[in-house]
Amino acid sequence: MLLNSCGMVRVGCHVSIAGSIDLAVARALERGCDTFQIFTRNPRGWKAKELDERTAAAFSERLHAAGIGPVFDHMPYLPNLASPDKEIYEKSVAALTAELERCGMLAIPYLITHLGHHGGSGLESGQARVSAAINRALSDAGGGVMLLLENTAGEKNGVGSTCEDIGKIMDGIEDIGRIGTCLDTCHAFAAGYDLRTQDGIEDMLGQYDDQIGLERLKVIHLNDSRGGLGSRVDRHEHIGMGGIGEEGFCRILRSPVIRLLPLICETPVDDRRDDAGNIAKVRELAGENGPS
Long-range contacts: 279-282, Cβ < 8 Å, 24+?
279/11, 279/12, 279/13, 279/31, 279/32, 279/33, 280/32, 281/238, 281/239, 281/240, 282/9, 282/11, 282/222, 282/239, 282/249, 282/253
The answer to whether the peptide bond before residue 70 is cis (omega within 30 degrees of 0) is yes
Q: Would you say 158 and 166 are in contact if contact means Cβ atoms under 8 Å apart?
A: no
pTM of the model: 0.95
Please give the backbone phi and psi of residue 160, each rounded to the nearest 5 degrees, phi first: 100, 25
What are the structural domains, with CATH classification, of the chain? Answer: 11-287 (3.20.20.150)
* Among candidate residues 191, 205, 186, 206, the one with its CA nearest the CA of residue 248: 186
Cα–Cα dist 63/140, whole Å: 27
Name the residues annotated as catalytic: 44, 74, 77, 114, 150, 184, 187, 221, 234, 236, 266
Please tell me the predicted confidence (pLDDT) of residue 155.
Answer: 94
Please tell me the predicted confidence (pLDDT) of residue 139.
Answer: 96
Please tell me the predicted confidence (pLDDT) of residue 274.
Answer: 97
Digitized pLDDT (tens) for each residue of the chain, 292 residues in all? 333 334 579 999 999 999 999 999 999 999 999 999 999 999 999 999 999 999 999 999 999 999 999 999 999 999 999 999 999 999 999 999 999 999 999 999 999 999 999 999 999 999 999 999 999 999 999 888 999 999 999 999 999 999 999 999 999 999 999 999 999 999 999 999 999 999 999 999 999 999 999 999 999 999 999 999 999 999 999 999 999 999 999 999 999 999 999 999 999 999 999 999 999 999 999 984 444 3
Rounded to a whole number of angstroms, the distance between the first and last alpha carbons of the chain is: 26
5: CB partners within 8 A, 6+ apart: none
Cα–Cα dist 86/57, whole Å: 36
In the chain, the amino acid numbered 127 is Q
* Among candidate residues 231, 256, 255, 226, the one with its CA nearest the CA of residue 243: 226
Cα–Cα dist 93/283, whole Å: 38
